[in-house]
Amino acid sequence: MVGLVPPDLRDRWAAFSVTDAHDGPAPIPATNEWARLAAREARTSVRILRITEPMTWTNAVEAGRITDPGITARIVSAEVTLTTTVDGRSEAERTSVELGLEFEGPPTRSTWGFVGAVTYTAIPVGTS
């Protein structure tokens, strides 16, 4: 939650949360990976499977442990397909992805904004 992020880091938290690969792959590739993907003419498509509110979030709000009216959490489950070209041949890698995200919006802000990615799980499904 924003309140737990030190104030001097809050302006960088959203970007850091989707690029940090310390504990495993990150939702957004590292700088050197972008060059490899560009060389392979990579493109990605995403199919959202479901969006839910985490039960732990709901329970924490109901119990009064989360009191900020402008922050909410969602879990986004999706299938991501990364298509690349290798030796003139197209290859597609499918990955099942789940992201735990936090957003901030009304009544504390006039519009919704991305706060950060709390969790990220990516499981390869197959290639074609």
Domain boundaries, the chain: 2-127
pLDDT tens digits along 111-121: 999 999 999 99
User: Rounded to whole angstroms, how far apart are CA atoms 43 and 39?
Assistant: 11
CATH hierarchy code of domain 2-127: 3.10.450
Provide the CA 84 distance to its chain's centre, in angstroms: 22
Predicted TM-score of the model (pTM)? 0.84
Q: How far is CA 115 from CA 48, 66, 103, in A?
A: 20, 15, 5
pLDDT tens digits along 38-81: 999 999 999 999 999 999 999 999 999 988 888 899 999 999 99
User: Rounded to whole angstroms, how far apart are CA atoms 80 and 82?
Assistant: 7
